[in-house]
Amino acid sequence: MVSPASMPSALTFELIARCSTTRARAANLTLPHGLVQLPLFMPVATQASLKGLTPQQLEETGCRLCLNNTYHLGLKPGQEVLEKIGGAHKLQGWKHNILTDSGGFQMVSLLKLANITEEGVRFLSPHDGTPMLLTPEHSIALQNTIGSDIIMQLDDVLVTTSPDTKRMREAMERSVRWLDRCIAAHANPTTQNLFCIIQGGLDLEMRKECCKEMVARNTPGIAIGGLSGGEAKADYCRVVNACTSLLPELKPRYVMGIGYPEDLVVSVALGADMFDCVWPTRTARFGNAITKHGMLNLRHARYANDFGPLEEGCGCICCRTGEGSLGVTRAFVHHVAAKETVGAHLVTIHNVWYQLALMRSVRQSIIEDRFPKFLKQFFSDLHAGDKTKYPEWAVEALLTVGVDLMED
Amino acid sequence: MASENGGRLAFEVLTQVDHSVIAPRLGRLSVPGRKDLETPNFFAITSRGAAPHMTPDVISSRTQFGGVHMALEDFVDKAGKGGTPPIMNVPNSSPLHTFTALPKRISTLLAPRRTPAVTAPVGNSNTAVSIFTSTGFQAISNKNYINYISAMHPDIAIGLGDVPYGSVPGSKRVEKMGDRTEKWLSELLNEKSEEQAVFAPILPIDFLSQSEYINYIADEAANSVSGLAFYDSNILPDIPATTAVAKLPRLTLDEPSSPAQILRQISLGMDIFTIPFIGFATDAGIALTFRFPKPLPPGSEGEQKEEMSSGTSLSPLGIDMWTSSHATTLSPLSLGCECYTCTSHHLAYIQHLLSAKEMLGWTLIQIHNHYIMSEFFAAIRSSIRKGAFEEDVRVFERVYESELPEKSGSGLRVRGYHYKSEGPGEPKKNRSAWGNLGPNEGKVEALIPIRTQRD
């Protein structure tokens, strides 16, 4: 057991504003590679590249903190290469912040043959089928080499919908033990911030227990994990609600794997600050553009003669008008979608911009203390003002923090 | 930009007074509303209106090329089913530019077919040629082609030519080729708008077989066409050296396989190139590294590649980026290169991206390869200006290998609309990405950790 005082931190967290109705917060988070403004969405550059975008194009979307996946970087280019190059920032020419996951999630999501023991995760190499082992120590050593600004503990991830409460408890308790091993193995606590990951499935008591144990470890930031695995949205909201109410005010709270716009705004209302998801960039490659009125599948024939921007009023380089505008139309994206990679790149730029711009306007509304009004406008835009189409879970979750979407 | 295509395209030959002498020449192509193009130079090749791998913002800020080659067959998929191609509906006076989000400084050249083009199973007829769209083969008549040109407003349109792809035409066909092309060209010249610039196609057959057609261009059409488009640049020396013909810009659509071939064509007086090997190299993961006439002097910060210091051996024209020996090399793709890729990234990253099949790898190589090509032509122009071209070509041939390196890695997934099987028994173009885990499943050998901790 590590005493709380011994855990250094490489970040400063400054609370800027609090919503007077919901639990939403606006904060400034200063990391080793600069300031990021919370609440925040982090796009995922899995293999040290955000799907086809140059680091400069990513920077132009306003992104100052993106994800890399430890598991993927561990396979390619591998730890030895990363060590020689001097870490992931130097590898990809990225001047801003990077967060890496622990690699544990990919073991579960990509590999059906993963086997978890107290020692770590055993799995077969996807390259040649040779058995491999990932321990908390390996994960942290690898993330230390990667040099990411935020590193994640290795956790024992279980789908939240698992009915096996005994296994769920084992996973939660093991995650706490692995956190201690991660803290002990962490070589660069003054330059890299280790975040713990709250586990416990959908069992609120177990989540609370985990919060208590992990908060006591005093990591610079706290993540809520194991979600976004197919659980009911109402259950998801209950878990986030339960956790954020137990977490310290002055630490960043990161909910892993969340990226749908409606999930983001509701989670912010429930008191979460940071999110990541591959969905916006993945769906872009299928020709889907995110807009405030919902998603457009640009491969559909109805867009073949649509010479408007992807989204009217959007500020991304594809859509913006005036000086330096590219004049990319829905018709052009339709013309190249799924045929030339340029189509994917353009929609990726737009979608990342959309997600970041959404969070910027959420932040602004919190600072100006008009977030409840923002939420109402957001859902009204998304469902063309038709309240019968509002998702029930969102209405209920927002009621718990004092916002009634149904009232006018 | 200047009043949209208000003026006319102009070409000025800046060197060489005696038109009967075959020699390299400098020129300036002025397209209304676009940036002037110093020649010799090249037009980048597009696919479905996009320069592969490069978004319009990358083109405008990271490339220097002044023109693009666009293929009509990339835009008229829907016409095959009786529909109207969307590009015909663009509400704008510059539809091709607007539709493709192309930066305004760049000129567009519209050709009927892609370069290189897929061989059509059915030949051309007296009134139409076969084209290949993403939805299959279509016949496109000269009448339709003329309509497309007038609707799309390319800066330059190449007249429809009876070009046989894939096969050597028999003597009967050869007779028809010139006649058909002459008829199609005269129809186009009669019907086109005043300001539409048209390049006359020169067929890939010997001069005698198309002499009647070429004489028609020289005697009757030289003042109504704005340039010549060669499907085989070897015909260039045979073209009549009248003043009217000599002042036309010359563009080549044949497919040079190496910079040496480009140099040879320049020595014959070619002005503008389309160069498929840039894209081939990019897709194969090869970064072009040649300079004209020889490598840049070694910079202070790094030594030249080892192969080059061994004295007599030739320098490669490009470097295979797949090679794992680049995995930790932090130097740029090509020493002294000032392109975006080389100033922002290093070999190790490019190698990683290719090996991880990340699309950015091809984007960065594509930016670099187009930059190298722009620099190559800039150096050629300066060499011609100094009167040193012939000597410099000899130096180039002495220093560099004659062909690009073989590709070792696999490229991106190839797509149906630009590759077509041309017979039975062809191997698969794309390797399958995933297979069964197979017999290894469940078998456990020694545990190999991701990291073997030695300390």
Query: Measured between CB atoms, does B433 come within 8 Å of chain A?
Result: no
- Nearest CB among A72, A128, A327 relative to B101 is that of A327
- Angle of helix A136-146 relative to helix A165-185, nearest 10 degrees, comes to 50
CB contact under 8 A, B449 and A132: yes
Q: Is it the case that residue B350 has pLDDT exceeding 70?
A: yes
Element (H, E) at B341: helix B340-344
**Which B residues, 346 through 375, put their C-beta within 8 Å of a C-beta on chain A?**
348-349, 351-353, 355-356, 358-364
Which chain B residues have a beta carbon less than 8 Å from that of A53?
360
Annotated binding site of B for Zn(2+): 337, 339, 342, 368
**Which B residues, 282 through 311, put their C-beta within 8 Å of a C-beta on chain A?**
none
Say if residue B36 is in the same domain as residue B157.
yes
Which chain B residues have a beta carbon less than 8 Å from that of A181?
none
Mean pLDDT, to the nearest integer, of B328-341?
94
Residue B112 lies in a domain: yes
**Could you tell me which of B145, B155, B182, B129 has the C-alpha nearest to residue B66?**
B155
Q: Give the minimum alpha-carbon distance from A198 to chain B in angstroms, rounded to a whole number.
A: 25
Placement of tokens 């035409």 in the chain: B169
Weakly modelled stretches of chain A, pLDDT under 70: 1-6, 107-113
Residue B428 lies in a domain: no
Placement of tokens 């149904």 in the chain: A406
What's the pTM value of the predicted model, to 2 decimals? 0.93
Say if residue B366 is in the same domain as residue B252.
no
Strands A253-255 and A274-276: parallel
Burial tier of A385 (Cβ tally within 10 Å: 0-12, 13-18, 19+): exposed
Q: What is the ipTM of this complex?
A: 0.95
CB contact under 8 A, A138 and B444: no
Which chain A residues have a beta carbon less than 8 Å from that of B359?
49, 51-52, 341, 344-345
Q: How confident is the model at residue B431 (pLDDT cuts 50, 70, 90)?
A: low
- Nearest CB among A128, A328, A341 relative to B101 is that of A328
Average the pLDDT over each of A360-369, B117-126, B194-203, B300-309 and give the range with the smallest value: B300-309
Q: How confident is the model at residue B185 (pLDDT cuts 50, 70, 90)?
A: very high
Residue B442 lies in a domain: no
CB contact under 8 A, A341 and B437: no
Which chain A residues have a beta carbon less than 8 Å from that of B52?
340-342
Mean pLDDT, to the nearest integer, of B163-184?
91
CB contact under 8 A, A129 and B363: no
Residue B443 lies in a domain: no
Q: Is it the case that residue B234 has pLDDT exceeding 50?
A: yes
Which chain B residues have a beta carbon less than 8 Å from that of A48?
349, 352-353, 356, 358
pLDDT computed for residue B349 by the predictor: 98
pLDDT computed for residue A95 by the predictor: 97
Annotated binding site of A: 101-105, 155, 199, 226, 314, 316, 319, 350
Say if residue B302 is in the same domain as residue B268.
no
CB contact under 8 A, B453 and A317: no
Say if residue B245 is in the same domain as residue B148.
yes
Query: Measured between CB atoms, does B331 come within 8 Å of chain A?
Result: no
CB contact under 8 A, A85 and B348: yes
pLDDT computed for residue B146 by the predictor: 98
Query: Measured between CB atoms, does B55 come within 8 Å of chain A?
Result: yes
Q: Whole-angstrom Cα distance, residue A131 to residue A352?
A: 37
Q: Into how many domains does chain B fold?
A: 2
Residue B435 lies in a domain: no
Buried b (16+ CB within 10 A) or exposed e, A327-366: bbbbbbbbbbbebbbbbbbbbbbbbbbbbbbbbbebbebb
Which chain B residues have a beta carbon less than 8 Å from that of A124?
437, 440-441
Q: How confident is the model at residue B75 (pLDDT cuts 50, 70, 90)?
A: very high
Mean pLDDT, to the nearest integer, of B199-206?
96
Between residues A345 and B408, which one has the greater pLDDT? A345
Here the CATH number for the domain that contains residue B183 is: 3.20.20.105
Average pLDDT of chain B is: 88
Q: How confident is the model at residue B444 (pLDDT cuts 50, 70, 90)?
A: very low
Say if residue B180 is in the same domain as residue B231.
yes
Say if residue B105 is in the same domain as residue B132.
yes
pLDDT computed for residue B60 by the predictor: 95
pLDDT computed for residue B446 by the predictor: 35
**Residue finishing a domain among B399, B418, B448:** B399
Residue B286 lies in a domain: no
Question: Count of A–B CB contacts within 8 Å?
Answer: 170
User: Which residues sit opposite B136 in a β-bridge?
Assistant: B133
Say if residue B251 is in the same domain as residue B316.
no
Each residue's pLDDT tens digit, A219-238: 999 999 999 888 999 999 99
pLDDT computed for residue B26 by the predictor: 97
Say if residue B268 is in the same domain as residue B375.
no
Say if residue B297 is in the same domain as residue B226.
no
Residue B318 lies in a domain: yes
Say if residue B116 is in the same domain as residue B213.
yes
Please identify every residue of A annotated as catalytic: 101, 276
Annotated binding site of A for Zn(2+): 314, 316, 319, 350
CB contact under 8 A, B345 and A93: yes
**Residue finishing a domain among B214, B244, B274:** B274
Residue B280 lies in a domain: no
Q: How confident is the model at residue B121 (pLDDT cuts 50, 70, 90)?
A: confident
- Nearest CB among A134, A304, A339 relative to B48 is that of A339
**Could you tell me which of A253, A214, A220 has the C-alpha nearest to residue A7?**
A220
Q: Give the minimum alpha-carbon distance from B445 to chain A in angstroms, rounded to a whole number.
A: 7
pLDDT computed for residue B407 by the predictor: 83
Q: Is the dihedral of CA A62, A65, A70, A75 positive or negative?
A: positive
Say if residue B224 is in the same domain as residue B270.
yes
* Architecture of the domain made up of A40-278: Alpha-Beta Barrel (3.20)
Each residue's pLDDT tens digit, B77-98: 887 777 899 999 998 889 999 9
CB contact under 8 A, A327 and B98: yes
Residues, chain A, total? 408
pLDDT computed for residue B7 by the predictor: 65
CB contact under 8 A, B54 and A342: yes
State which residues form the domain around B62: 10-274
Token reading at B11 = 């070409």
Say if residue B152 is in the same domain as residue B237.
yes
- Nearest CB among B48, B356, B441 relative to A340 is that of B48
